[in-house]
Structure 1
Amino acid sequence: MTQTAMAPTRTDRLLAGVERLGNKLPDPFLLFLGLFLLVGVISTALELAGTTVTIPGTDEPTAVRGLFTGEGLTWLTVNLGPNFIGFPPLVTVVTILLAVTVAERTGMLGAAIRVSLGSAPRWLLPYAVGLVGVTASVMADAAFIVVPPLAAMVFKAAGRHPIAGLVGGFAAVGAGYSTSLVVTSLDALFAGITNAVTTNLPNAGATVTPVSNYYFNVAASVVLAVVAGFVIDRIVEPRLEREDAPREMVESDDTVDGSTAPAARDDEDVAPALRTGPGDLAPELDAAERRGLRMAGVAFLVLSAVILVAVLPSGSPWRNEDGAFLPESPLLDSTVFIVFVLFLGPALVYGYVSGSLRESADVPKVMALGIKDMAAFIVLAFMLGQFIALFNWTNLGSALAVSGANGLESIGLTGYPAILGFILLASVLNLFIVSGSSMWTLMGAVFVPLFALLGYEPGFVQAAFRIGDSATQVITPMNPYIWIFLVMLKRYEPEAGLGTVIARMLPFVVPFWLAWVVVLSVFYFGGLDVGPGVGIRIP
């Protein structure tokens, strides 16, 4: 039941103001075009001024390079195409989208959700979404694409507001990205970077491994899942109800008579069950759906077994040169392929068994419907790719990180306030450098030796960095996945803009940041190990 008669709260008014302000920004394509030109002007001025930055651990200073110079303009003309095609999220988004669209349009996801929610209490869903979201970083960036729409479907099937699930799923994945209940490739990546800057320290403490933050990660995952569930249940969903936000998805301008079916020219030859996409979910499965779901489950198990048989043998080509999977290996680089196959294979089986797919020609037609939904993002990706490539090429990100780190160091903070200042600096820099490995490479080179001299374990400093690396990335336009989320949100709210996204995400950012700091404080003041053999202080 909607609550449209209820007066907006003070929080509602604040978030509405943020939304209005953010939505007054130019179209995202034009916004990033303007930022591209701004970075070009600033970088050129800094190069003409002879600006350099010395990254700790390097022998030579790094010069800031300008766009509007001979070198810069040559770089642009040579790399315009590669900047677009090489934009990292395109590889993940477009590939996985092809498979997820088939799983969605055949009805497999809806059927699986109805079965899984048959006896699940409604009150538990926000907390389940929170837990799945913060743990989903095991799928790397694929989590940003898979979790939010599934969470929306879960909420809709349970009679709750689907946008609350969509928003909560994205927030949990993004703001909790650096933590998980299981060890991920990010743990190995961070450990390698940390160890690289401790080699010359006289007393470097315990060697950092992929499990050096495991205790902290598990505790943080549980706490953040509870916080995410609380925010979804008590703040986000009630606000959506007060706003009377739409519960049904709408299509793009290519609609038929205002219905949710895509235009006939796109899918007139597709099986009828695929035309409307994920509409209302009936409470009970019919015989064909049950049979299709059983066979899809069998297909999932078979494919999983094939993958395990391929990668587990000691001589598997998916292992690294040392015969392991961490810190890097072909298996970890195959995440997109694995997610693609585990969605597409069962979806095809479900479609043909249930009858939602009639013939093989239906498959590419259904995939095309998913690409059509993402057309606006693909256009935006052209400009995003140019901007991010320029930002990296000019070395402005490195200059920003090192300058901020040196500024904090010059203040002379010691003890726990220094840790909080470090986390706050990482949170701010995360608004500009969303790549965790890039930012940790820069910040770790400065702060790991600094805090080691103060007696702090490198593994503990790495744990503190995780807070700043994640909490704020769901509100920065520099995060390319925020624009993918905007496309998802527009399927419910066609008028949504960047301001809408930020307003939806803000209720998560501060609670996540504070909850994470509280968890770290418990470890710090309790003298607890953040991982096996890794305490707070160097013995």
Structure 2
Amino acid sequence: MTTTTAPTRTDRALATVERVGNRLPDPFLLFLGLFLLVGVISTVLSLIGTSVTIPGADEETAVRGLFTGEGLTWLTVNLGANFIGFPPLVTVVTILLAVTVAERTGLLAAAIRASLGSAPRWLLPYAVGFVGVNASVMADAAFIVVPPLAAMVFKAAGRHPIAGLVGGFAAVGAGYSTSMLVTSLDALFAGITNAVTAGLPDPGATVTPISNLWFNIASSVVLALVAGLVIDKLVEPRLVRDGAPTDMVAEEDDASLEGGAQADDEVAAALRAAPTDLSPDLAPDERRGLRVAGLVFVALAIVVLVAVLPGGSPWRNEDGAFLPESPLLDSTVFIVFVLFLGPALAYGFVSGSLRQAADVPKVMGLGIKDMSAFIVLAFMLGQFIALFNWTNVGSALAVAGADGLESIGLTGYPAIIGFILLASVLNLFIVSGSSMWTLMGAVFVPLFALLGYEPGFVQAAFRVGDSATQVITPMNPYIWIFLVMLKRYEPEAGLGTVISRMLPFVVPFWISWVAVLTIFYVTGADVGPGVGIRI
């Protein structure tokens, strides 16, 4: 693509961020260095007897050092467990097996061509924004599913696929704490908030999974519109000006299909062509495959509903409900896996892109090949995050930051803004929303309750800071998965490339989300059923 437009000031600023970020070491070496740095800092803090008091805890939490007898023993015992127990591996590898079959058999491409082939091009950025912002109902699986689908939608409509890829990831990550639907995160946050308010003299309204529902609905609509505008007006024009590639780098899939037997050349060719064949017209076998895949999807969905809806279902919790915790919520990965794999197999065999059962594991192997770099990186990520948690350095950072804001003595709405800012900064280091809310909620829910604020409103404010900045922090493990996706278009892309692509979303999302909260505050509207601003 030929560049005909001079770069803007924003382009130059983002290009600088990209160059600086790309000069960082290889991610594996980067996290090895961070691992050693945290090890040294934790050891020094441990030797001088550093400890922090987490509000609500019976005892002080001591910082533990890596380079001590206890720390070195922990490392030698848990090296394998830190890797295998790295949470994203469970989600990524499992779902990836099913999503790869859906992609390589051509199901996703055919579904997109059938449903969006005639959709107006102007609407796509906003549709991607809406789906991404609300995709947290799929939990972490959204980080894997939405971006590549968004890229395919853009490609099918003749728009820049990287814009869809970037927009999909940004909408999922920067808007992760909100959704029009009640999610497991709502239940988790509510449980933590109620645990904090239990001892307060006036705890306000009881916080439930729907206590932020009105705020979440309003936020999801606004953020979807903002995401669409950023994709349409900032991200895609910059990609065009930079002449970013619009096609994936060619892959040697034939070799990946070898699984102890000679690969079928015809199957390999079909699988290789399927994801990129996005012409608007569907062949008869593709239409038949889509119909059968749709029937299989409906049948599987009915089976899931029949299994979980009866009162005595084993997928309910001990109280007979699904919230705040239940086997159903813990089965999200399984449900997504089945709902992708079943229709994908049906489509593959009906359309002819799969010829025999032995082709299925070969196709799954293609997905593992694509993610091999991340799996290697996951070894170091797992060690670093496990060390960060075990040493209690993360807890010390959060408590120190919270105490600093509390000591300033801010009152009124500026204190809420300061609280959101602190959450946004801490989110760069602690991307687990439940962990950070446990620490921050223990300090700020009682503090703001004394100032007359409902705990449910404070929880809504926390959501803003908990999400907006997580798409630019290396601490987010899914940012490295996104980098693997981006490298399929831009092999030279690095962490700086990712951050420069994400920055245009962070500030608009943060400002828009704070604006929504401010409107609720000024008007006094309830943030959820029965939950106002003031106690």
> Normalised by the size of structure 2, how large is the TM-score?
0.98
Shift in CA distance, 478/534, structure 1 to aligned 2, threshold 3 Å: same
The SS at the match of 2:402 is helix
Once the two structures are overlaid, the 10-residue window that deviates more, 243-252 or 76-85, is: 243-252
Q: Whole-Å Cα distance in 2 between the matches of residues 106 and 67 of structure 1?
A: 47
2:455 paired with 1:431: no
2:366 paired with 1:369: yes
Question: What amino acid does structure 1 have at the position aligned with 2:310?
Answer: P
Once the two structures are overlaid, the 10-residue window that deviates more, 177-186 or 268-277, is: 268-277
Identity of counterpart residues, as a percentage? 83
CA contact (8 A) 2:189 2:437 kept: yes
The SS at the match of 1:537 is coil
Q: Deviations over 1:497-523 (max 9, x none)?
A: 000000000000000000000000000
Q: Deviations over 1:130-149 (max 9, x none)?
A: 00001000000000000000
1:452 to 430, 449, 454: 449
Aligned residue runs from structure 1 range 230-309, under 5 A: 230-251=229-250, 255=252, 268-269=263-264, 271=267, 272-276=269-273, 278-309=275-306
The SS at the match of 2:207 is coil
CA contact (8 A) 1:251 1:262 kept: no
**1:528 matched residue in structure 2:** 525
Q: Deviations over 1:126-168 (max 9, x none)?
A: 0000000010000000000000000000000000000000000
CA contact (8 A) 2:256 2:369 kept: no
Q: Whole-Å Cα distance in 1 between the matches of residues 206 and 276 of structure 2?
A: 52
**1:69 matched residue in structure 2:** 68
Question: What amino acid does structure 1 have at the position aligned with 2:342?
Answer: G
The SS at the match of 2:231 is helix
Q: Whole-Å Cα distance in 2 between the matches of residues 261 and 218 of structure 1?
A: 46
- TM-aligned CA deviation for residue 265 of structure 1: 5.2
CA contact (8 A) 2:257 2:365 kept: no
Q: Whole-Å Cα distance in 2 between the matches of residues 336 and 388 of structure 1?
A: 22
2:215 paired with 1:220: no
2:155 paired with 1:156: yes
Question: What amino acid does structure 2 have at the position aligned with 1:187?
Answer: D
**1:476 matched residue in structure 2:** 473
CA contact (8 A) 1:261 1:277 kept: no
**2:317 matched residue in structure 1:** 320
**2:40 matched residue in structure 1:** 41
Question: What amino acid does structure 1 have at the position aligned with 2:416?
Answer: I
Question: What amino acid does structure 1 have at the position aligned with 2:526?
Answer: D
CA contact (8 A) 2:257 2:363 kept: no
Question: What amino acid does structure 2 have at the position aligned with 1:106?
Answer: T
Q: Whole-Å Cα distance in 1 between the matches of residues 152 and 19 of structure 2?
A: 28
Q: Whole-Å Cα distance in 1 between the matches of residues 9 and 134 of structure 2?
A: 32
CA contact (8 A) 2:64 2:390 kept: yes
Q: Deviations over 1:349-394 (max 9, x none)?
A: 0000011100000000000011000000000000000000000000
**1:119 matched residue in structure 2:** 118
Q: Whole-Å Cα distance in 1 between the matches of residues 356 and 257 of structure 2?
A: 18
**2:100 matched residue in structure 1:** 101
Question: What amino acid does structure 1 have at the position aligned with 2:12?
Answer: R
Aligned residue runs from structure 1 range 132-147, under 5 A: 132-147=131-146
- TM-aligned CA deviation for residue 261 of structure 1: 6.7
CA contact (8 A) 2:86 2:382 kept: yes
Question: What amino acid does structure 2 have at the position aligned with 1:440?
Answer: W
Q: Whole-Å Cα distance in 2 between the matches of residues 381 and 280 of structure 1?
A: 32
CA contact (8 A) 1:56 1:446 kept: yes
2:405 paired with 1:400: no
State the number of aligned residues.
Answer: 531
Q: Deviations over 1:164-194 (max 9, x none)?
A: 0000000000000000011100000000000
Shift in CA distance, 277/372, structure 1 to aligned 2, threshold 3 Å: farther
- TM-aligned CA deviation for residue 119 of structure 1: 2.8
Consecutive unaligned residues of structure 2, counting only runs of 5 or more, are none
CA contact (8 A) 2:256 2:365 kept: no
Once the two structures are overlaid, the 10-residue window that deviates more, 44-53 or 115-124, is: 115-124
The SS at the match of 1:197 is helix
The SS at the match of 2:3 is coil
Question: What amino acid does structure 2 have at the position aligned with 1:269?
Answer: D
Q: Whole-Å Cα distance in 1 between the matches of residues 244 and 340 of structure 2?
A: 30
**1:500 matched residue in structure 2:** 497
- TM-aligned CA deviation for residue 199 of structure 1: 0.7
Q: Whole-Å Cα distance in 2 between the matches of residues 118 and 374 of structure 1?
A: 29
- TM-aligned CA deviation for residue 283 of structure 1: 1.3
Question: What amino acid does structure 2 have at the position aligned with 1:292?
Answer: G
- TM-aligned CA deviation for residue 483 of structure 1: 0.2
> Normalised by the size of structure 1, how large is the TM-score?
0.97
Q: Whole-Å Cα distance in 1 between the matches of residues 304 and 489 of structure 2?
A: 37
Q: Whole-Å Cα distance in 2 between the matches of residues 386 and 310 of structure 1?
A: 38
Q: Deviations over 1:42-74 (max 9, x none)?
A: 000000010000000001000000000000000
Q: Deviations over 1:271-314 (max 9, x none)?
A: 13113451231210010000000000000000000000000000
Q: Deviations over 1:205-264 (max 9, x none)?
A: 100000000000000000000000000000000000001100111146xx3xxxx87667
Q: CA RMSD in A?
A: 1.2
The SS at the match of 1:119 is coil
2:1 paired with 1:6: no
Q: Whole-Å Cα distance in 2 between the matches of residues 417 and 85 of structure 1?
A: 43
- TM-aligned CA deviation for residue 3 of structure 1: 6.2
Q: Whole-Å Cα distance in 2 between the matches of residues 280 and 407 of structure 1?
A: 56
Aligned residue runs from structure 1 range 186-197, under 5 A: 186-197=185-196
The SS at the match of 1:278 is helix
2:196 paired with 1:201: no
CA contact (8 A) 2:114 2:280 kept: no
Question: What amino acid does structure 1 have at the position aligned with 2:264?
Answer: D
**1:54 matched residue in structure 2:** 53
Question: What amino acid does structure 2 have at the position aligned with 1:494?
Answer: P
Q: Whole-Å Cα distance in 1 between the matches of residues 360 and 391 of structure 2?
A: 43
Question: What amino acid does structure 2 have at the position aligned with 1:178?
Answer: S
Q: Whole-Å Cα distance in 1 between the matches of residues 117 and 490 of structure 2?
A: 29
Question: What amino acid does structure 1 have at the position aligned with 2:461?
Answer: A
CA contact (8 A) 2:257 2:362 kept: no
**2:25 matched residue in structure 1:** 26
CA contact (8 A) 1:262 1:276 kept: no
Q: Whole-Å Cα distance in 2 between the matches of residues 72 and 263 of structure 1?
A: 41
CA contact (8 A) 2:54 2:60 kept: yes
Shift in CA distance, 471/537, structure 1 to aligned 2, threshold 3 Å: same
Q: Whole-Å Cα distance in 1 between the matches of residues 473 and 451 of structure 2?
A: 32
Question: What amino acid does structure 1 have at the position aligned with 2:177?
Answer: S
